[in-house]
């Protein structure tokens, strides 16, 4: 069975949702394997824009089934809203979307704790959606899973226990009894709504494997926000890297046949943390406005930077990427020159690799190579040869620097604005 992992090669927001939607037309199952509704994918389908936060982008692909895997943390309220939004816009969801019984549940007290930390001087720039505190409970073995959520007696017992565990922090927000009432206020309605979607998804995926079906596994966020391999501590609370797909979906590593990394033609980052190639001023503002670089989930302005080769090489290495997709090439129209970071300076030293040390990540200075810009409307290009010469040369130069083929080039938000350079690299 072909199983393809699609993973962000930078700090998230690379356009993975569109690429998963594009590849989803050839998939039988699309699986989201980590993160929560702190992520956001904007997908254009049938002339409409869909902002998805929990549901895999494959839900928009006809005939494809979608799974929210056990590695995802699920806010029941957000899930209910998203399903209702999709159904109100004519997307068939029931019977096509499933949540793992082993996925953990985000509850109001997780959001309170997250907000308290962000606004109390301990923040790292989270979305305040309760993601981190929910994963903390998971690791501390006091988490509440979907299977527990569906059992009223078990759920109420676990909630009361957890409120006592977090009492010291939560008491700074409001009385525990008030928070308890908030948790239980819509519980019965949410439980009844979620129940038909809940399943042991590992069994589904194993059955799909045996039937030689195609699996597409999608990450949230990006490789440099990975808990283990990213710019720690300014990272997310899970493992977006391809290795996290197996643990977060309930499949074995031998099922994975290819890994597609998604990178923008430049770099963006949301929130705090090191960003060696960050550029401000006129160029940064221009790219942000042309590229509409504002968060799908929060609306926050994204930080802008030039493409960073050492950072991308680190992502390629840690994911085992077999091919790359380059998105937002069209955004660079009119930018001249285009810079690419090919290494760093750290004092008198030259570094070829992205450093692990948090001090070095903050202190390195980028070493740039410059490339001629290009002009013209790229959005109507159907094949690589349709692109302006400067755009083609830029893609080829990046491909050579990275040593991994750029198999797909995206020149717009819709699925149709996608150029496949090498179809043989997509699933194997």
> Model confidence over 59-84: pLDDT tens digits?
988 889 999 999 999 999 999 999 99
Whether residue 295 contacts residue 53, with contact meaning beta carbons closer than 8 Å, is answered with no
Range name among 121-125, 188-192, 275-279 with the lowest pLDDT average? 121-125
pLDDT value of residue 209: 86
> Any residues with CB less than 8 A from the CB of 283 and at least 6 apart, and which?
304, 335
Which class for 315: exposed (0-12), middle (13-18), buried (19 or more C-beta within 10 A)?
buried
pLDDT value of residue 299: 82
The catalytic site residues sit at: 13, 41
pLDDT value of residue 147: 98
> Any residues with CB less than 8 A from the CB of 392 and at least 6 apart, and which?
384, 385
pLDDT value of residue 124: 78
**Integer Cα distance of 404 and 111 in angstroms:** 40
This prediction's pTM? 0.94
Topology annotation, domain 263-425: Adenylosuccinate Synthetase; Chain A, domain 3 (3.90.170)
pLDDT value of residue 362: 97
Alpha helices by DSSP H, listed for 186-280, are 187-194, 201-210, 243-249
Whether residue 66 contacts residue 30, with contact meaning beta carbons closer than 8 Å, is answered with yes
Q: What is the mean pLDDT of the chain?
A: 94
pLDDT value of residue 428: 79
**Integer Cα distance of 419 and 409 in angstroms:** 5
Domain spans of the chain, in order of start: 3-100+198-258, 104-192, 263-425
**Integer Cα distance of 108 and 149 in angstroms:** 14
Q: Determine the average pLDDT of the residues in 185-213.
A: 95
Reading the block at residue 414, the tokens are 């819709």
Q: How confident is the model at residue 408 (pLDDT cuts 50, 70, 90)?
A: very high
> Any residues with CB less than 8 A from the CB of 156 and at least 6 apart, and which?
184
Quote the DSSP letter at residue 294: B
Overall CATH class of domain 104-192? mainly alpha
pLDDT value of residue 39: 73
pLDDT value of residue 1: 61
Domain 3-100+198-258, what architecture? Answer: 3-Layer(aba) Sandwich (3.40)
């Amino acid at each position: 069975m072909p199983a393809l992992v699609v993973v962000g090669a930078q700090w998230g927001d690379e356009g993975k949702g569109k690429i998963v939607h594009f590849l989803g037309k050839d998939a039988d199952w699309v699986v989201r394997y980590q993160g929560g509704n702190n992520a956001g994918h904007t997908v254009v389908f049938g002339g409409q824009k869909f902002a998805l936060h929990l549901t895999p982008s494959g839900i928009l692909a006809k005939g494809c089934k979608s799974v929210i895997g056990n590695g995802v943390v699920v806010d029941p309220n957000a899930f209910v809203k998203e399903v209702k939004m999709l159904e109100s816009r004519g997307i068939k969801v029931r019977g096509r979307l499933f949540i793992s019984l082993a996925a953990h549940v985000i509850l109001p007290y997780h959001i309170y704790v997250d907000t308290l930390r962000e606004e109390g001087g301990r923040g790292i720039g989270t979305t305040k959606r309760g993601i981190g505190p929910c994963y903390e409970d998971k690791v501390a073995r006091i988490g509440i899973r979907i299977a527990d959520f569906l059992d009223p007696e078990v759920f109420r017992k676990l909630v009361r226990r957890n409120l006592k565990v977090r009492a010291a922090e939560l008491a700074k927000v409001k009385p525990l009894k008030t928070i308890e009432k908030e948790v239980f206020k819509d519980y019965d309605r949410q439980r009844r709504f979620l129940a038909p979607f809940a399943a042991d998804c590992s069994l589904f995926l194993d059955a799909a494997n045996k039937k030689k079906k195609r699996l597409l596994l999608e990450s949230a966020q990006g490789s440099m926000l990975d808990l283990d391999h990213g710019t720690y501590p300014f990272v997310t609370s899970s493992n977006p890297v391809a290795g996290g797909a197996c643990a977060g979906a309930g499949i074995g590593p031998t099922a994975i046949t290819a890994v597609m990394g998604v990178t923008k033609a430049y770099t963006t980052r949301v929130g705090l943390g090191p960003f060696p190639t960050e550029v401000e001023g006129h160029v940064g503002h221009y790219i942000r406005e042309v590229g509409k670089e504002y968060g799908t989930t929060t609306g926050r302005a994204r930080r802008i930077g030039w493409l960073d080769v050492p950072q991308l090489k680190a992502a390629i290495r840690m994911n085992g990427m077999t091919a790359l997709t380059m998105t937002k090439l069209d955004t660079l129209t009119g930018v001249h020159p285009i810079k690419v970071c090919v290494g760093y300076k750290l004092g008198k030293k030259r570094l070829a690799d992205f450093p692990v040390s948090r001090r070095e990540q903050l202190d390195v200075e980028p070493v740039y190579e410059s490339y001629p810009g290009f002009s013209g409307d790229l959005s109507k290009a159907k094949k690589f040869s349709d692109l302006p010469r400067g755009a083609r040369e830029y893609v080829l130069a990046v491909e050579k620097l990275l040593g991994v083929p750029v198999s797909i080039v995206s020149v717009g938000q819709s699925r149709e604005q996608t150029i496949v350079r090498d179809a043989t690299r997509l699933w194997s």
